[in-house]
Chains A and B, each alone.
Chain A
Amino acid sequence: MTTKPRLNTDGSLVAGLAAVALFAVLAVVFLGAGFPAPAGFPEGAAITKSLGAAMFDIAPGQLMDEGEAAIPAEGFLIAFLLIGVLLDAALDGALMLAKREESGENVGLGSQSDDNDATVAADGGTDAGGDD
């Protein structure tokens, strides 16, 4: 008996024909469009530095060493901050979705109600010993 990977054929592949048809249409359109030769970036262009300058709205000339050409771009500082807020919101959303509650109490990792014993047993869990 072999364990080689097999093509997943459960479910119909007919619906996928729409995707293949879409690719055919797109290919015909793109190959018939006729683009001019790409402008490209100049020789010695500092692409990564220019990217950083564009992302933080710094004038690119301030970052360049000698012989490095800055590439024009727009400023994206506000967009950068908004993306930061979005990622924060996504983290909160993922935590909210992943939190499991039973009768109003958290269940799972990080909660203390796993074994209905509210006291933290940091000494290995034995009740004897200590000051009591």
Chain B
Amino acid sequence: MAIPAEYYLLLSAAVFCIGLFGVLTRRNALIFLMSVELMLNAANINFVAFSLQHGNLTGQVFALFGMAIAAAEVAVGIGIILVLYRNFTDVDVTKATTMRW
């Protein structure tokens, strides 16, 4: 008995909204990065769920590529946070306002 697609979508929406909540409320750049990861992986849940829904493996392969994209994003993101810490001696995203104007 397969689980209906609605529940996968609900799980995915919940994970995405937890990530969005983190982005909107937190100020630590590392937690920002983790929240963006949650949002990316919510998309992966949808890919895998609809792969099962349609009986086609394309979605699962695409989810693997999504993980690779997430890895690349984290590599660059941690580099940016490193530079942020060097320049501002803090990882608070509200303190780094030099490029705002």
Contact = CB atoms under 8 A, between A and B. Distances in A.
Interface of A: 8, 11-13, 15-16, 18-20, 22-23, 26-27, 30-31, 33, 35, 37-42, 47, 50-51, 54-55, 71-74, 76, 79-80, 83, 86-87, 89-91, 93-98, 100
Contacts of B61: 51, 54-55, 73-74, 76
Nearest to B15: A23
8 contacts: A16-B24, A19-B17, A38-B2, A47-B57, A50-B57, A71-B57, A74-B61, A86-B68
Of listed B6, B16, B52, B54, residue having the most chain A CB within 10 A = B6
The 10 lowest CB-CB distance pairs between A and B, nearest first, are A97-B79, A39-B55, A90-B72, A73-B57, A23-B17, A19-B21, A26-B13, A19-B20, A15-B24, A94-B79
A15 B9 contact: no
Do most interface residues of chain A lie in helix, strand or loop, or is the interface mixed?
helix
Interface of B: 2-6, 9-10, 13-14, 16-18, 20-21, 24-27, 52-58, 60-61, 64-65, 68-69, 71-73, 75-76, 78-80, 82-83, 86
B5 A97 contact: no
B76 A93 contact: yes
Contact of A51 (B18, B24, B60, B76): B60
A23 B68 contact: no
A98 B82 CA distance: 7
A41 B17 contact: no
B57 A33 contact: no
A84 B68 CA distance: 9
